[in-house]
């Protein structure tokens, strides 16, 4: 499904990230958001160069991360992947992506999904006030970790209950490098892709 086709969809959750690689935790959180917020689609948006990783930190190619994300969500009819951030040069900023999506889907309700750690730093994002004009914001909330600046609190679409998921992309990369199994941490199709392309070694 292309972004143009999403213009006929009532509501879409925007899930941006490095996805290096995408893992089971991402998928569980996306499904929880889809159900609790009654969203029609979840749009996974791999970043080209995330601002928080612009210091030269090595990440897998955009092509590899895009393909792994596509493989991971292939069996879910309401999970969609876009390459809009990968096609843009330079750093990936949410405001630019939301602006582009809104132009293509002017009547679709956009809900930007983020973790409580990102919500804590939201005021430092590029043009946070404009983001809030383009989309609602929903935050995955962990007990004891939720924080939201008072000035933005009225713009939250909803909090999303988040199970405690101790899986990270960093852990997967480390386990692959050390020769350990990553079964059940990420879908089998992603594991196959990692092995076939020699990633994280």
pLDDT digits (tens, 9 = 90+) for 122-135: 888 899 889 999 99
Q: Per-residue pLDDT tens for 25-80? A: 999 999 999 999 999 999 999 998 776 665 567 899 999 999 999 999 999 999 99
DSSP 89-113: -S---HHHHHHHHHHH-TTSEEEEE
Question: Which are the contacts of 178, defined by CB distance < 8 A and separation ≥ 6?
Answer: none
pLDDT bucket at 6, cuts 50 / 70 / 90:
confident
Strands 41-46 and 11-17: parallel
- List the single range of 92-96, 152-156, 188-192 with lowest mean pLDDT: 152-156
Smallest Cα–Cα separation from 43: which of 75, 87, 84, 103?
84
Instruction: Quote the tokens at residue 37.
Output: 């917020």
* Higher-scoring residue by pLDDT: 84, 163: 84
Instruction: Quote the tokens at residue 197.
Output: 């392309």
Task: Provide the CB-side half-sphere exposure for 57 (13 A, CA).
Answer: 12
Return the number of other C-beta atoms located less than 10 Å from residue 73's C-beta.
Answer: 21
What domains does the chain contain, in order, with CATH numbers? 4-167 (3.40.50.620)
Using CA atoms, how far apart are residues 80 and 89, in angstroms rounded to an integer?
22
- List the single range of 63-77, 123-137, 143-157, 160-174 with lowest mean pLDDT: 143-157
pLDDT bucket at 103, cuts 50 / 70 / 90:
very high
Strand-pairing partners, residue 98, are none
| b/e sequence 34-43, b meaning 16+ C-beta within 10 Å | beebebebbb
At residue 151, the pLDDT reads 47
At residue 165, the pLDDT reads 85
Return the number of other C-beta atoms located less than 10 Å from residue 13's C-beta.
Answer: 26
């Amino acid at each position: 499904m292309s972004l143009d086709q999403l213009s006929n969809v009532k509501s879409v959750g925007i899930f941006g990230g490095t996805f290096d690689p995408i893992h089971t935790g991402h998928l569980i959180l996306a499904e929880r958001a889809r159900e609790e917020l009654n969203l029609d689609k979840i749009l996974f948006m791999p970043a080209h160069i995330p601002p928080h990783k612009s210091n030269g930190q090595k990440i897998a190619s955009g092509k590899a991360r895009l393909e792994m994300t596509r493989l991971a969500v292939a069996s879910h009819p309401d999970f969609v992947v876009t390459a809009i951030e990968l096609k843009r040069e330079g750093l990936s900023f949410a405001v630019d992506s939301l602006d582009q999506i809104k132009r293509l889907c002017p009547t679709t309700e956009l809900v930007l999904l983020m973790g409580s750690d990102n919500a804590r730093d939201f005021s430092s994002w590029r043009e946070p006030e404009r983001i809030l004009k383009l989309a609602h914001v929903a935050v995955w909330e962990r007990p004891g970790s939720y924080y939201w600046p008072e000035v933005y609190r009225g713009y939250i679409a909803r909090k999303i209950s988040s199970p405690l998921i101790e899986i990270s992309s960093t852990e997967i990369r480390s386990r692959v490098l050390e020769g350990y199994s990553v079964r059940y941490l990420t879908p089998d199709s992603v594991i196959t892709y990692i092995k076939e392309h020699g990633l994280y070694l």
